[in-house]
A and B are shown apart, each in its own frame.
Chain A
Amino acid sequence: MSVMDPAPAQISTSGRDYFATLARWKIWEILFWAALAGCYFVPEMDRMLMSRVIIWGLFAMSLDILLGYRGIPSLGHAVFFGTGAYVAGFCGKYGWTEPISALFFAMAIAAALGWLTGKLVQRVAGVGLLMVTLGLNLILFDFVLRSTDLTGGDDGLQGIVIAPVLNMFRFDIYGRTAFWYALVVAFILFVAARILVKSPFGLALIGARENPRRMITLGAPVEGDVSRAFMIAAALAGAAGALLTQTTQTVAPPTLSFQRSADVLVILIIGGAGRLYGGFIGAIVFILLQDYLSSISPVYWYFWIGLLLVVIVSFFRKGLLPSLDALLQRFIKRKPDTPS
């Protein structure tokens, strides 16, 4: 199928060997994370911007679990991102200033909401699913916007205090702490997600994506997996939201607006769904483009973004990563499993 998944001929008869082959780290994966970390040392690098790229990458990766691996399109993914963001915000506001434990707490709440959502939508498919997730998004957004006493409404949550990470690294305006904090958290969660999708559970998700009826005849719990996939995706999205709140000490309704759900979908599509890295690649392209265009053309930047998105999507049908991958495959003349 691609460089990342071994060709069928290669699959060994023993299941354990198969998953071991799947889970082996490729050289380019290590290079990718090393390059991301290396950004810190580039002079004149805007670390705040890079931390945002990482957070969006993590957010898009969480959607990838749903869309790329289970094939569930969600138009309300910002619900979980926003929940994580607001929970982290409330923690900071009401005295729970320690960031790491608050991050876990935010993840847990988002996961619970994700599980409930999964239960709600597991029998719905296709356009219906889009509508339910969109509806949930709009309800939560309006709730947050209207409960001015609780959330501050439009003004956002005021008075968020975040203690230094490990009591040593204060969140400064230059984004030094923000960068490392976001990178380390994103990397750990990435590794966890990677283990998950390369496990039998991940295989079952892909199976249900490709042919749910067949999976049922095999005796796989297809419906139950929907709520589990939602729960995992929500926890990851919640972590991304909490990271954003903690690194910026701000949270406001746009964090769970429909616009955000759409943006994350766009990021994932640009990067390419179904391979975990797509979200990160998409975030790098989208966020950096947005930053660059809005600074050279503050008035018309939306136009240029729209135009570039159309161009990218029409030239790289399946997203940047899969398209480049296919190109590479052709280049090395179908020699399987020797990607670089």
Chain B
Amino acid sequence: MKTALSILAAAALATVSTQPTLAQETVKIGVLQSYSGITSLGGQQTDFAIKLFMQKFGETPGGFKLQLIRRDTTGPNPEVAKRLVGEVVTREKVQLLIGPDFTPNTLAAAPILSEAKVPSFVTGAATTGIVGEKSPYSTRTFFATPQLCKPLAPFAVKQGWTNIFVVVADFAPGHECEKFFMEALKEANGTLVGNLRTPLSNPEYSGYIQRIRDAKPDGVFIFMPIGELSIGIVRALNDSGLKASGLKIMGTGDITDEGYIDAVGEAAVGVITSGIYSTQHDSALNKEFVKSYTALAGEKNRIGWTAVSAWDAMRLTYDALEAQKGQKFDGEKFAAFLRGHKIESPRGPITIDKSNGDIVQNVYIRRAERVNGVLQNVEIETFKDVSFK
């Protein structure tokens, strides 16, 4: 069957080009993630997700043989990212790219990808507007900042928590998130009773906590970069007794990320977050995904959003390659196929926007709870098909 097909394909191609064709074309996929330093968790999750996907669905989608080329972006470092993208595109001749991660890296890669017409998946950068015009071959499977920062405002007001205090870390994504949240709060007729921007390198929160206490809000909305600062502020709010006195702690999923929620500990219980994925998501696909991922990566490596984004990038890749079965790989067709494409992801249904390749997805409001003794983000409400704008 296979030989018959390839003979047919070869015959078909021979009529259009004199080039001899291989029975099985190899598609090289560049995987550009952080594999070293404090951000190496992203690379680790990406690797697990890709490995798992290829175990489950085979290594030859649409008759194409896949070859992975991995490189370490070392974190948000546009110079390195640009060099690596240039290298894998010109020297290794990759036809697809998963990554690079982080907004600065994604921005730096865009001109090369546009010039070389290499489709890419954005699996780890959330800033608005980085896919679309600047990189017509990019598809985002992560999330866009407004998707996380807007929904909590109407949710809070609906619960009767109308006086909100906003705390963000003082860096570009923090400013962006602050803007989106405040807009949404105004739209929902909530009241902003105060806001703070905390420095990135100051884990001492007591002064800020006092200012929150003085403003007497019903709830506080937090946006912090993933990691230490998120752990610090949730614990500080808990230790100050504010949480016990009834203050609602809200924030983007970063503050109770599965990667370190155990380090936050009891302080996390009851924290409300907006997120795109929780291992607790109730669907058959997710149950299966969690089970097999845990079997592969072990209990200790909990599943983060990067893993799901990489998984979805693979799903989209396989779908697009199947659609090109028997033909020669065409990057432009590949990117075009994904526009408007809809898939079922472990996080729920997602759609790639027709006009610019950004993602439309459900956003979940979750409450951190202990489930069978393990801290989990339990979904309590769903905002359907939230736009990336």
| A interface residues (Cβ-Cβ under 8 A, vs B) | 44, 46, 48-49, 52, 148, 153-156, 158, 172-175, 244, 248-252, 254-255, 291, 294-295, 298-299, 301-302
| B interface residues (Cβ-Cβ under 8 A, vs A) | 35-36, 40, 43, 70-72, 76-80, 82-83, 86-87, 89-91, 103-104, 107-108, 111-112, 115-116, 171-172
Q: Assess the A248–B79 pair: CB atoms within 8 A.
A: yes
Q: Assess the A299–B43 pair: CB atoms within 8 A.
A: yes
Q: Assess the B35–A173 pair: CB atoms within 8 A.
A: no
A295 CB contacts on chain B under 8 angstroms:
71
Q: How many Å lie between the Cα of A52 and that of B82 in the bound state?
A: 12
B90 CB contacts on chain A under 8 angstroms:
46, 48, 173-175
Q: In whole Å, how far is B279's beta carbon from the nearest beta carbon of chain A?
A: 25
Q: In whole Å, how far is B227's beta carbon from the nearest beta carbon of chain A?
A: 15
Q: Assess the B36–A302 pair: CB atoms within 8 A.
A: yes
Q: How many Å lie between the Cα of A148 and that of B173 in the bound state?
A: 11
Q: In whole Å, how far is B95's beta carbon from the nearest beta carbon of chain A?
A: 15
Q: In whole Å, how far is A83's beta carbon from the nearest beta carbon of chain B?
A: 16
Q: Assess the A158–B107 pair: CB atoms within 8 A.
A: yes
B111 CB contacts on chain A under 8 angstroms:
249
A254 CB contacts on chain B under 8 angstroms:
77, 79-80
Choose one: B36, B72, B86, B108; the contact of A48 (CB below 8 Å): B86
Q: Assess the B86–A298 pair: CB atoms within 8 A.
A: no
Q: Assess the A46–B87 pair: CB atoms within 8 A.
A: yes
Most chain B C-beta atoms within 10 Å of own C-beta, residue among A154, A172, A298: A298
Can you list 18 residue pairs at the A/B interface with Cβ under 8 Å? A46-B91, A52-B83, A148-B172, A154-B76, A154-B172, A155-B104, A156-B79, A156-B104, A156-B107, A172-B115, A174-B90, A248-B83, A252-B79, A254-B79, A294-B72, A299-B72, A301-B36, A301-B72
Top 3 A-B pairs, shortest CB-CB distance: A155-B104, A298-B72, A252-B78
Q: How many Å lie between the Cα of A22 and that of B326 in the bound state?
A: 68
B76 CB contacts on chain A under 8 angstroms:
154
Choose one: B40, B70, B89, B108; the contact of A250 (CB below 8 Å): B108
A48 CB contacts on chain B under 8 angstroms:
83, 86-87, 90
Q: Assess the B107–A251 pair: CB atoms within 8 A.
A: no
Q: Decide yes or no: A255 and B35 within 8 Å by CB, A46-B91, A249-B111 being known contacts.
A: no
Q: How many Å lie between the Cα of A263 and that of B364 in the bound state?
A: 45
Q: How many Å lie between the Cα of A156 and that of B109 in the bound state?
A: 13
Q: In whole Å, how far is A163's beta carbon from the nearest beta carbon of chain B?
A: 15
B40 CB contacts on chain A under 8 angstroms:
299
Most chain B C-beta atoms within 10 Å of own C-beta, residue among A175, A244, A248, A252: A252
B71 CB contacts on chain A under 8 angstroms:
294-295, 298
Q: In whole Å, how far is B68's beta carbon from the nearest beta carbon of chain A?
A: 10
Closest to A158 in B: B107
Q: In whole Å, how far is A258's beta carbon from the nearest beta carbon of chain B?
A: 14
